[in-house]
């Protein structure tokens, strides 16, 4: 942790005392917060456009970006510049989550099934220089062979094979990332496959998907270097009626093959809470990947807030002692506001939710519950909402030398004025 020479504001020591009175050690909470990385999704920089072709844009894949706020990053260099700016406003040490469609091809003409480490070496070097770990994603969207909405479960064997090769190539790249950076790369598989309208045959695509995944995962890779995750979805744009990779499908697949499950907060029915799934899933799979996101009615990938559903996710991780088995990633893309602000607000909100979970009066709550005193459980939980966690958050930012409150907005506006607004 970076230590500032400046003294902590007095509000912190007052808060520290108040938390100590209910048995909570704020210093311990800050230590855990500082060592918990969030995997920053590169795709917030440019609305999931990618860098494979000049002027590429998100074309297909059951996800949609809305908004046209000026200043979008147009190439690898601008994405990195924006990432550095976002990182400078985030307390803690984080990871980079890169999609394969952000390959730095440097003029090499190759398709996704032929991608190799060289196409990502400049990203690996970039991360290494910043002492960051990296996570990876094969890209099964925005490509001529994903246009009809099917990839790994496509009825045409040639199309399936292309995407199987892309998956195999991606795991090799991820293995190399893990080796080079000295921290395991989590490779997440999400495919858009599904039907807009009610299908006749729900079975065959799922059989094909299982077979394709088996082929991709055939080569064993040391989990020290790479770990595979599979991400389910209830519905997407253009796959409203049927998604091949449903929750039940991947739950079964991950349990059977001991893969990581990726739970995206926007991928379930709006009344379902992701938090409630964590302790069930982790009973049967080794580790978990989270896509912390915010669905608004549909899977809209709004900027993460420090709201009740997000807080509930982090409470589960802390209460169940699951932090060591969970990889925390983000997945949102808002193009209607300053994109750096989106990144920074979303990431800091997730971190705040984690901090609040670490500052829960855990002993009191578990004692109330185990003695059947549900009156006390409710009262303590509600009273704890007004504990001065904000002062602890500000102290964290202060120690990590990142701005809080309006100073944060000033930094973002300044960057917008001097850098982003100059982009045509
Ligand atoms: C799509 C999935 C997936 C993507 C990213 C870009 O619904 O959530 O994770 O958003 O891989
Ligand atoms: Zn996701």
Q: Tens digits of per-residue pLDDT, 84-112? A: 999 999 999 999 999 999 999 999 999 99
Q: From the CA of 373, how far away is ligand 2's center (Å)?
A: 39
Cβ proximity of 145 and 193 under 8 Å: no
Q: For residue 57, what pLDDT is reported?
A: 84
Q: Look over the chain and give the mean of its residue pLDDT values, rounded to a whole number.
A: 96
Residue 299 annotated as catalytic? yes
Report which protein residue has its CA nearest ligand 1's atom 2: 190
Q: From the CA of 22, how far away is ligand 2's center (Å)?
A: 37
- Arithmetic mean of pLDDT, 147-163: 97
Report which protein residue has its CA nearest ligand 1's atom 11: 190
- Arithmetic mean of pLDDT, 118-140: 98
H-type alpha helices, 371-421: 374-384, 389-399, 406-418
Residue 247 annotated as catalytic? no
Q: Tens digits of per-residue pLDDT, 338-358? A: 999 999 999 999 999 999 999
Residue 214 annotated as catalytic? no
Pocket probe for ligand 1: among 291, 294, 298, 328, the residue whose CB has the most ligand atoms within 8 Å is: 291
Q: Which of the residue ranges 166-170, 194-198, 259-263, 299-303 would you say has the lowest mean pLDDT?
A: 299-303
Question: What share of residues in the chain are helix, strand, coil (percent, to 5)?
Answer: 45, 10, 40
Q: Which CATH superfamily is domain 36-362 in?
A: Divalent-metal-dependent TIM barrel enzymes (3.20.20.150)
Residue 99 annotated as catalytic? no
Q: From the CA of 189, how far away is ligand 1's center (Å)?
A: 9
Structure tokens at 81: 């510049």
Using a 10 angstrom Cβ sphere, with 0-12 exposed, 13-18 middle and 19 or more buried, the burial of residue 397 is buried
Handedness of CA 98, 130, 85, 392 (dihedral sign): positive
Work out which ligand 1 atom sits closest to the CA atom of 48.
6
Is the pLDDT assigned to residue 83 strictly greater than 90? yes
Q: For residue 299, what pLDDT is reported?
A: 86
Q: From the CA of 299, how far away is ligand 1's center (Å)?
A: 10
Interacting residues of 147 by C-beta distance below 8 A, sequence separation 6+: 60
- Arithmetic mean of pLDDT, 292-307: 95
**What are the CA-CA distances from residue 107 to residues 51, 53, 64, 104 (Å)?**
11, 9, 28, 9
Instruction: Give the length of the chain.
Output: 424
Q: Tens digits of per-residue pLDDT, 19-53? A: 999 999 999 999 999 999 999 999 999 999 999 98
Measured from CB, residues less than 6 Å from any atom of ligand 1 are: 43, 48, 63, 99, 137, 190, 231, 233, 236, 264, 291, 299, 331
> Per residue, what are the HEC states of 281-319?
HCCCCCCEEEEECEEECEEEEECCCCCHHHHHHHHHHHH
Instruction: Catalytic residue, from 291, 311, 327, 398: name it.
Output: 291
Report which protein residue has its CA nearest ligand 1's atom 9: 190
**What are the CA-CA distances from residue 313 to residues 105, 268, 319, 399 (Å)?**
38, 14, 10, 26
Residue 27 annotated as catalytic? no
- CA proximity to 364, closest of 353, 355, 377, 375: 377
**Percentage with pLDDT > 90 across the chain:** 94
Residue 190 annotated as catalytic? yes
Q: For residue 2, what pLDDT is reported?
A: 45
- Arithmetic mean of pLDDT, 389-414: 97
Q: From the CA of 289, how far away is ligand 2's center (Å)?
A: 10
Work out which ligand 1 atom sits closest to the CA atom of 236.
7
Instruction: Catalytic residue, from 99, 195, 247, 267: name it.
Output: 267
Rounded Cα distance between 33 and 20, Å, is 18
Residue 196 annotated as catalytic? no
Q: For residue 1, what pLDDT is reported?
A: 42
Is the pLDDT assigned to residue 397 strictly greater than 70? yes
Query: Any idea which ligand is nearest the CA of 299?
Result: 1
Q: Tens digits of per-residue pLDDT, 210-243? A: 999 999 999 999 999 999 999 999 999 999 999 9
Planar angle of CA 46, 191, 209, nearest 5 degrees: 165
Longest dimension (CA), the chain: 67
In this prediction, residue 319 has a pLDDT band, given cuts at 50, 70 and 90, of: very high
Report which protein residue has its CA nearest ligand 1's atom 10: 331
In this prediction, residue 3 has a pLDDT band, given cuts at 50, 70 and 90, of: very low
Token pair 């790249």: residue: 173
Residue 111 annotated as catalytic? no
């Amino acid at each position: 942790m970076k230590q500032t020479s400046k003294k902590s504001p007095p509000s912190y020591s007052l808060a520290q005392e108040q938390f100590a009175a209910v048995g909570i050690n704020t210093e311990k909470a800050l230590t855990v917060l500082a060592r918990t990385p969030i995997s920053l999704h590169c795709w917030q920089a440019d609305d999931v456009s990618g860098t494979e072709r000049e002027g590429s844009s998100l074309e297909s894949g059951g996800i949609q970006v809305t908004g046209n706020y000026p200043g979008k990053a147009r190439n690898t260099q601008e994405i990195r510049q924006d990432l550095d700016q976002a990182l400078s406003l985030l307390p803690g040490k984080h990871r980079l989550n890169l999609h394969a469609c952000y390959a730095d091809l440097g003029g090499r003409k190759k398709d996704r099934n032929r991608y190799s480490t060289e196409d990502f070496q400049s990203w690996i070097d970039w991360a290494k220089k910043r002492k960051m770990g990296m996570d990876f994603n094969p890209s099964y969207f925005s490509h001529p062979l994903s246009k009809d909405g099917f990839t790994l479960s496509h009825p045409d064997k040639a199309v399936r094979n292309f995407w199987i090769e892309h998956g195999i190539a991606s795991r090799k790249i991820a293995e190399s990332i893990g080796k080079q950076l000295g921290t395991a790369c989590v490779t997440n598989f999400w495919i858009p496959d599904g039907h807009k309208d009610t299908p006749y045959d729900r079975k065959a695509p799922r059989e094909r998907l299982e077979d394709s995944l088996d082929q991709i995962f055939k080569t064993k890779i040391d989990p020290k270097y790479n770990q595979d995750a599979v991400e389910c979805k209830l519905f997407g744009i253009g796959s409203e009626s049927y998604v091949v990779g449903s929750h039940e499908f991947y739950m079964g697949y991950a349990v059977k093959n001991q893969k990581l499950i990726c739970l995206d907060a926007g991928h379930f029915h709006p009344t379902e809470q992701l938090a409630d799934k964590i302790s069930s899933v982790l009973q049967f799979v080794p580790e978990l990947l989270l896509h912390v996101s915010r669905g608004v009615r549909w899977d809209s990938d709004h900027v993460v807030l420090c709201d009740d559903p997000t807080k509930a996710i982090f409470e589960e991780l802390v209460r169940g002692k699951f932090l060591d088995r969970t990889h925390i990633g983000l997945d949102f893309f808002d193009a209607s506001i300053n994109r750096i602000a989106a990144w920074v607000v979303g990431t800091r909100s997730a971190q705040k939710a984690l901090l609040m979970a670490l500052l829960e009066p855990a002993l009191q709550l578990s004692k109330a519950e185990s003695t059947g005193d549900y009156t006390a459980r409710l009262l303590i939980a509600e009273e704890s909402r007004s504990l001065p966690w904000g002062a602890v958050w500000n102290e964290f930012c202060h120690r990590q030398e990142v701005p809080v409150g309006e100073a944060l907005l000033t930094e973002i506006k300044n960057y917008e004025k001097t850098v982003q607004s100059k982009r045509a």
